[in-house]
Amino acid sequence: MNELAISLDTKSKVPLYEQIYQYVKQEIQNGRIPNGEKLPSTRSLCRFLEVSRSTVELAYEQLLSEGYIEAEPCRGYFVSELEGLYQLKPQNQKVLDDPDKKCVQYRYDFSPSGVDLKSFPYNVWRKLSKESLMDDRAELFRLGHPQGEWGLRNAISHYLHQARGVNCSPEQIIVGAGNDYLLMLLATVMGQNHKVALENPTYRQAYRLFKNLSYEVCTVDMDAKGMSVSELEKSGADIAFVMPSHQYPLGIVMPIRRRMELLRWAEQEGRYIIEDDYDSEFRYKGKPIPALQGYDNHEKVIYIGTFSKSIAPAIRMSYLVLTPQLLKQYQERSSFLSSTVSRVDQLILQKFIEEGYYERHLNKTRALYKSRHDTLLSALKGIEPVARISGENAGVHLLLTFQGGVREEELISRAEEEGIRVYGLSEYYVAPEPDSPATILLGYANMQEESIRKAIEILRNIWGVPGCESD
Amino acid sequence: MNELAISLDTKSKVPLYEQIYQYVKQEIQNGRIPNGEKLPSTRSLCRFLEVSRSTVELAYEQLLSEGYIEAEPCRGYFVSELEGLYQLKPQNQKVLDDPDKKCVQYRYDFSPSGVDLKSFPYNVWRKLSKESLMDDRAELFRLGHPQGEWGLRNAISHYLHQARGVNCSPEQIIVGAGNDYLLMLLATVMGQNHKVALENPTYRQAYRLFKNLSYEVCTVDMDAKGMSVSELEKSGADIAFVMPSHQYPLGIVMPIRRRMELLRWAEQEGRYIIEDDYDSEFRYKGKPIPALQGYDNHEKVIYIGTFSKSIAPAIRMSYLVLTPQLLKQYQERSSFLSSTVSRVDQLILQKFIEEGYYERHLNKTRALYKSRHDTLLSALKGIEPVARISGENAGVHLLLTFQGGVREEELISRAEEEGIRVYGLSEYYVAPEPDSPATILLGYANMQEESIRKAIEILRNIWGVPGCESD
């Protein structure tokens, strides 16, 4: 080949070298310049195209580095052998709308996983965020400690000790982007070949996660005190995943005797308890129940906590407290994994805790949730002939167990017709529980008091609850 | 038991009900109040202690809810049976210093994974962060889409299309907190029973991660064009993890023919290529090499990219581009897993890209790295009799392969004696490579030009490189 008849557009925004590169590349791709063909020299091509030699050199270099052409010393440039059909995939770029935007709107939503976001301390968070992004904090943008920053882990360990009776040093804490991630990480620490027992009903996310991580998973039935330890023993599981402070979804607080039975079960070699303490901050009678971890003398309890409920779900910060043995395993097997939380966010949260904002925020939201809780209970007054209330002493939801043969789906769909979303207990059962009476969960964290009153008034009517004459 | 002789401290900050609760709990724990013992009624105890009845009721309720006592209708309160020994673990809370603070300090550090953080756009990031935290953004603190926010995914897909030739829609993108997490997530999507082939040498983190996830892992040797496809075929692997745009650590750019061979290898049922495109933004000659994914006609390439190199490691945002088939599997198996990135951070990054800051930042850092790159090359002038330079056309490090029998450890330790940290290639080999000559990696992203000149001057002396008379 003597020359390349490229029509260059000198007015185009595309640089000349790129026009040459693009042209030659396409000619090669289309097979118009065959394999093994010698290209014109840079010297001759630049004269022919009336461009500078460096422009042609740049184009050839790009073709060389992508492998379309090859340079042979003293001989020149040759088209590489590109066997087989080869085509650039056609562009199918469109501007697309978010497909998740269309979803059913409810007038009232009693979501049990709601959080009141109006009370999120925006001003404080913004202030702390600004402070954390000062110009001289370049260090903050380097990769941090895989377990999370020491300052934050220190603040969490103090908080856990004071508020939850958890005994741990900052070394044992791993900060991570949510419970799901931390349980995945924990699986890398514990390795394969475990059988995990979960309460039934339970937090389905945890069940699916353990399944997904290829663990053998089983469920253990609950009585009024929580997971049955004799059933647990029979199950053959070596790991028990429990929520002793406030079981989700049943709201059961595990009494001390059951806790001790559970700890005794775990004493056997190789057994562990994972304690998920997801919303123990919210308790309306007396002080919070101390965590199971605080009673553990044999280093058998792995504690997992989150700021999703107590601050906001979207800040994505949770923490794991490992036992000393598992910490050793973590250091050997998994500490090469980078942290999943931005250091800026960690610093904001550390300041939030250390400067007393967290405590104030907890007190504020606890008071708010308590008054919503009280409003809900008072709106439900007189419901007993129809349904029994349970799980109302803690957390941000309660349960209504309906007497008689009414079906859960019917209760839910009748509420839905009125624009009210309520949640059925059956969706939390992992193993089937066929004979249990219809049970509805009512979450109130994200409902204004006025909305609670209005929605419950409608629900009372459609559920046939006698009027509340005592109000 | 008739009464409880509790000496209450009315001046204490501890509420009276809690003093009663603590006292009774300890008496039960110590066995001084035996199992089955009846406690005084609330009425009698409040008279005895001269406190209000509700104070005693609150204390009893707390004991009840923790299971220390039981209420029997019409009979009163009884101490529960707590078999076995049971003791609260003694507190061992100390204020601890960060144990990771003590580490060797170097005068000069040629880290190949460095990033210049002085050029991080603090002002813009702070401005965008402030905008994102406006009071009316309560929505931002709700749990977001598991794949990441639509707006950010849209911005990433446009960027990938324009800058990297990647063909994908926002639906295929998953935003996550770092590559490690995204590879863990990908493992949950692909399931068990895969054999992963990695380049040798490679990014060790990826090797350890696949090992840790219980995959069978093997390495495939490289020639000057990248991973050997015939060796890959022989290995029996069904997943190839490669860095075609700029191999780490060797800096090889895979030519188009090898890319096509690799894509053809992947056409067989069940095979996949994971393309890690970690630092393709930095290229000093010609325009960036398009990603392998853009040439893929059979939906076989999973693309993974990160903002760690191009913005800052600590912001913890990476993204995965799934194939349509794997997206379906993700939706079935793994979409229940919550996102690992805060929505505020996602919004900041989205604005950063959409408002043109990212492009400007990339151009700025590319120019900065280019001048450090040029400074390093010029400081190394005349080194050829002693060592050969390679991998210098892209990325933020280059390699020096030493002639003669000098040992790598010796090169490193002699530099260390002068307070200079350099990195040996052998630590990137996963399978042993016994006969390879000593090779040193020099990263320059986080080194001032003056430091590069001074450090290289010292290294030339200790490595016995002839003086650079041409400067």
Q: Please answer whether residues A141 and A338 qualify as being in contact, where contact means their C-beta atoms are separated by less than 8 angstroms.
A: no
Model-level pTM greater than 0.95? no
Residue with tokens 């490289």: B222
Per residue in B180-221, pLDDT tens? Answer: 999 999 999 998 889 999 999 998 889 999 998 889 999 999
Per residue in A168-190, pLDDT tens? Answer: 999 999 999 999 999 999 999 99
Q: Taking CB atoms and an 8 Å cutoff, what residues of chain A touch B21?
A: 286-287
- Residue B118 corresponds to which tokens in the numbers above? 């002085």
Q: Where are the beta strands (DSSP E) in A68-121?
A: 69-72, 76-79, 108-109
ipTM over 0.90: no
Task: Measure CB to CB from residue A341 to each of B141, B143, B316 and give the nearest one.
Answer: B316
- Closest residue of B to A336, CA-based? B205
Q: Rounded to whole angstroms, how far apart are CA atoms A461 and A470?
A: 16
Asked if the C-beta of A10 comes within 8 angstroms of chain B's C-beta atoms, the answer is: no
B313 CB neighbour count, 10 Å cutoff = 22
Helix (H) or strand (E) holding A273: strand A272-276
Number of cross-chain residue pairs from A and B with Cβ atoms under 8 Å apart = 285
> Cα-flanking dihedrals φ and ψ of residue B233, to 5°?
-60, -45
Average pLDDT for B324-348: 94
How is residue A294 annotated by DSSP? G
| Minimal CA separation from B188 to chain A, in Å | 6
Asked if the C-beta of B6 comes within 8 angstroms of chain A's C-beta atoms, the answer is: no
Asked if the C-beta of A80 comes within 8 angstroms of chain B's C-beta atoms, the answer is: yes
Helix (H) or strand (E) holding B149: none
Q: Which of A26-40, A88-102, A387-401 has the lowest mean pLDDT?
A: A88-102
**pLDDT computed for residue A225 by the predictor:** 92
- Closest residue of A to B263, CA-based? A86
Q: Do B169 and A94 touch (CB under 8 A)?
A: yes
Closest Cα partner for B400 from B412, B418, B413? B412
Q: Rounded to whole angstroms, how far apart are CA atoms B246 and B289?
A: 9
For chain B, the 3-state helix, strand and coil shares in percent, each to the nearest 5, are: 40, 15, 45
Asked if the C-beta of B193 comes within 8 angstroms of chain A's C-beta atoms, the answer is: no
For the cut 60, the answer to whether the pLDDT of residue B325 exceeds it is: yes
Q: Please answer whether residues A170 and A402 qualify as being in contact, where contact means their C-beta atoms are separated by less than 8 angstroms.
A: no
For the cut 80, the answer to whether the pLDDT of residue B454 exceeds it is: yes
Per residue in A51-73, pLDDT tens? Answer: 888 888 888 887 887 778 888 87
* Residues 6+ away with beta carbon under 8 Å from A103: none
B87 band by pLDDT with thresholds 50, 70 and 90: very low
Q: Which long-range contacts (CB under 8 A, 24 or more apart) does A219-228 make?
A: A219/A430, A219/A431, A222/A247, A222/A250, A222/A252, A224/A252, A225/A252, A225/A254, A225/A255, A225/A257, A225/A258, A225/B67, A226/A199, A226/A252, A226/A254, A226/A255, A226/A258, A227/A197, A227/A199, A227/A254, A227/A258, A227/A262
Residue with tokens 């003398």: A297
Residue with tokens 């010609």: B286
Percentage of chain B with pLDDT > 70? 92
* Beta bridge partner(s), residue A173: A321
**pLDDT computed for residue B25 by the predictor:** 84
Q: How far is CA B129 from the centre of its chain?
A: 22
Per residue in B365-375, pLDDT tens? Answer: 888 999 999 99
B393 CB neighbour count, 10 Å cutoff = 17
Length of chain A: 471
| Minimal CA separation from B91 to chain A, in Å | 7
Average pLDDT for B63-68: 77
Per residue in A80-136, pLDDT tens? Answer: 876 543 333 333 444 455 555 545 678 999 999 888 888 888 889 888 988 888 756
Kind of pairing between the strands at B272-276 and B301-306:
parallel
| Amino acid (one-letter) located at A249 | P
Q: Rounded to whole angstroms, how far apart are CA atoms A4 and B97?
A: 69
Q: Rounded to whole angstroms, how far apart are CA atoms A309 and A312?
A: 6
Q: Rounded to whole angstroms, how far apart are CA atoms A247 and A280?
A: 10
B363 band by pLDDT with thresholds 50, 70 and 90: confident
How is residue A105 annotated by DSSP? -
Task: Measure CB to CB from residue B84 to each of A140, A142, A264 and give the nearest one.
Answer: A264
Per residue in B265-295, pLDDT tens? Answer: 999 999 999 999 988 778 776 666 789 999 9
A287 band by pLDDT with thresholds 50, 70 and 90: low
- Closest residue of B to A252, CA-based? B65
Kind of pairing between the strands at A108-109 and A420-421:
parallel
